[in-house]
Homo-oligomer: A and B are copies of this chain.
Amino acid sequence: MARNQDLNQKMRDQRKEQILSNALALFATRGLSATKISDIASASGVSQGLIYHYFRSKEEVFVELVRTAFERLNNACRELEKLPLSPREKIRRATEGLLHNIEESKDASRYYLVITQATASEAIPEEAKAIIDGERMLPYEVMKHIIEEGQADGSIGNHDASDLSLVFWTSIKGLAIHRAVHGTKFKMPDPEIIMSMFV
């Protein structure tokens, strides 16, 4: 009895994951409003109506993806901060990790695109806006903090720490977009280019 319920729950979760993953690909390449529920359904190989068995609306699917996107990015930032490394090494680790991640995982670069779109667009659900308002600053702040530590110990040059953090993240996001758009036919740049901003 309990086993059956577990199994059902598992299948339900799997189907939900499948829908979310296909929706992610579509939202990333077409945006929220140009993506039709029927697109998501046919990409997932199910009928249009079935989507509503798992989600209340198209917007709910989008909100869930935005939430996941920020959760992953911000958790990674918190982990980074705790790493037992020098400030400079933290930044190198982050840069290499991010670029590697963007290169290897289709989903990773797609999540960045969804974050960028969601941040850049006013035409998104209120709930998504609330998530963005609460979450979007954390990566900038963590990076700024690490930079300031590096400047205190002399291992990072004296550009304004907020500026540096901003340019760091805009570069990363720009590369993620590039990768999501142009796929594997473009190779990631040498992380040392990014690192040279911190000299």
Chain A positions near chain B (C-beta within 8 angstroms): 29-35, 113, 116-117, 119-123, 157, 159-160, 163-164, 166-167, 169-171, 173-175, 177-178, 180-181, 186, 189-190, 192-194, 196-197, 199
A49 to B196, CA, bound (A): 54
Partner of A175, one of B113, B116, B170: B170
A58 → B minimal CB distance (Å): 12
The residues of B that contact A35 with a CB separation of less than 8 Å are 123
- Cβ-closest 5 pairs across A and B: A170-B174, A34-B123, A163-B189, A33-B34, A30-B123
The residues of B that contact A192 with a CB separation of less than 8 Å are 159
The residues of B that contact A159 with a CB separation of less than 8 Å are 190, 192-193, 196
A77 to B107, CA, bound (A): 34
Given contacts A163-B190, A167-B171, A167-B189, A31 and B197 within 8 Å (CB-CB): no
A106 → B minimal CB distance (Å): 15
Q: Is the interface of A mostly helix, strand, loop or mixed?
A: helix
Whether the Cβ atoms of B181 and A167 lie closer than 8 Å is no
Q: A31-B31, A159-B190 are in contact. List 6 more A-B contacts (CB 8 A).
A: A31-B121, A120-B177, A120-B181, A164-B189, A166-B178, A197-B197
A48 → B minimal CB distance (Å): 19
Whether the Cβ atoms of A160 and B173 lie closer than 8 Å is no
Cross-chain pairs A/B with CB under 8 angstroms, 12 sampled: A31-B31, A31-B34, A35-B123, A120-B180, A157-B196, A160-B189, A163-B190, A170-B175, A171-B174, A173-B174, A193-B197, A196-B199
A50 → B minimal CB distance (Å): 23
The residues of B that contact A121 with a CB separation of less than 8 Å are 29-31, 34
The residues of B that contact A167 with a CB separation of less than 8 Å are 171, 174-175, 189, 193-194
Measured CB to CB, the nearest residue on chain B to A173 is B174
The residues of B that contact A194 with a CB separation of less than 8 Å are 167, 197
